[in-house]
Structure 1
Amino acid sequence: MARRVVGIGGTLRPRSSSEMLARAVLAECAALGAEAVMFDGIALSELPHFNPEAPTRNAAEQALVAAVRAADALVIASPGYHGGVSGLVKNAIDLLEDTRGDARVYFDGMPIGLIVSAAGWQAGGVTLAALRGIVHAMRGWPTPVGIAINSIEQKPFGADGTLIDAGIAAQVALQARQIMTFGVSEAA
């Protein structure tokens, strides 16, 4: 059975570096046999502000929660805004509070690849650490390889969207392998 990997992230800017990096990891996972689906910035913008007291969810909220419930692994990609996770991505993560009563609570036992694209190394590192903390709080297992790029100094993609930076491509491939191999004996 193929692993199901869900990507969450990006910005409202089409082809943002965080979204493209998440898509690159998902493509590597698909090449390794995964079924992959992406909830990009445009999809995340359809989510209202999370309200745990609201009894109903719109179609976009239901789709994200259902995809995560069916997932074997996640990829979460955020821009580093002022040293933190973007509100768009954090709102999507907060919505996953809806899984608190499930048989698998939150991200329990799931491998989760984390990606940050920030305009500086400090913001990238701090945001990656924040994502790791969030994932740990939600019982997930961040992959050992977390990807953080400095979007001022690094341009990983060519004009056609092809991943052209060999070092980043190697990180993408390694993160995908870790996502696909973590916990396989338990999931099988």
Structure 2
Amino acid sequence: MHIVGLGGSFRVPSTSLSALRVALRAAMTDSDVDVDLLDLRTLDLPPNGSAGPCAGVSRLVRAAAAADAMIWSAPMYHGTVSGAFKNAVDWLDELAGLDPPFLTNRPVGLIATAAGAQALQAVNTMEFAVRALRGWVVPFVVPVNAAQDAFRADGTIADRALAGRLSALGSMVAQGARCFAGTAAPAVRGRAEQWTTGLAG
């Protein structure tokens, strides 16, 4: 099973990235699971629709195309996900060229971090996006309110209960990937080929 984590922010440390790491570690507990972490700060994605094939978009699209499942982790800014995260999700439209398209029959776990008490709003936004991409949202989601208090300055988690919830999410995503095993396996064709063939990195 191959699980891809997508998230983070341009802040250092990033609470959404720290939370994502905890969930991915839990998903790796079983020997048949490997993970790939896509950090938005280092992906360096151009605005959706503004560029042709480039390294960051190629890495994102290739990773998502190969994933048996994904975990998304976004910061909440002004009531919704960050612009950088939404831009990354918009680039997943390039998966239209898969057969079946987009994230069909692939489970996606959702995490959102907020300085206030409205992290669930960002989770709800992500749920709509997963459904639009034909994926399956894992029923257990992790909204992290007052995230600045849940993580230490070095990015490590300080809240044991939160660590347990994030670990549970990672395990559930791995379980979901097994349930859907053999039903997602997309064949690359059409538009997605420009991102998955002939590009370095």
Please, what TM-score do these two structures have when normalized by structure 1?
0.89
User: Which segments of 5 or more consecutive residues in structure 2 lack a partner in the other structure?
Assistant: 183-201
Q: Distance in 1 between matches of 2:114 and 2:154?
A: 21
Deviation at 1:41? Answer: 2.6
Q: Distance in 2 between matches of 1:126 and 1:110?
A: 23
Q: Equivalent of 1:58, from 51, 54, 59?
A: 54
Please list, as runs of the form range in 1=range in 2, the aligned pairs for 1:15-164 lying within 5 A after superposition.
15-33=13-31, 34-44=33-43, 46-51=44-49, 56-122=52-118, 124-151=119-146, 155-164=149-158
- The residue aligned with 2:168 is 174
- The residue aligned with 2:190 is none
SS in 2 for 1:14: coil
Of residues 158-167 and 79-88 in structure 1, the stretch that sits farther from structure 2 once superposed is 158-167
- The residue aligned with 2:6 is 8
Deviations 1:27-47 (A, max 9, x none): 111222321111113223x11
> RMSD of the TM alignment (CA)?
1.7
User: Which segments of 5 or more consecutive residues in structure 1 lack a partner in the other structure?
Assistant: none
Deviations 1:23-65 (A, max 9, x none): 1111111222321111113223x1110108x5x3101111110
Deviations 1:92-120 (A, max 9, x none): 11111111121131111111111111122
What amino acid maps onto 2:160 in structure 1?
A: A
SS in 1 for 2:98: coil
SS in 2 for 1:15: coil
| Count, aligned residues | 181
Of residues 3-12 and 162-171 in structure 1, the stretch that sits farther from structure 2 once superposed is 162-171
Q: Distance in 2 between matches of 1:29 and 1:40?
A: 17
Contact 1:143 1:178 in 2 (8 A): yes
Contact 2:26 2:168 in 1 (8 A): no
Please, what TM-score do these two structures have when normalized by structure 2?
0.83
Shift >2 Å, 4+ stretches:
154-164
Contact 1:13 1:41 in 2 (8 A): no
Q: Distance in 2 between matches of 1:165 and 1:131?
A: 24
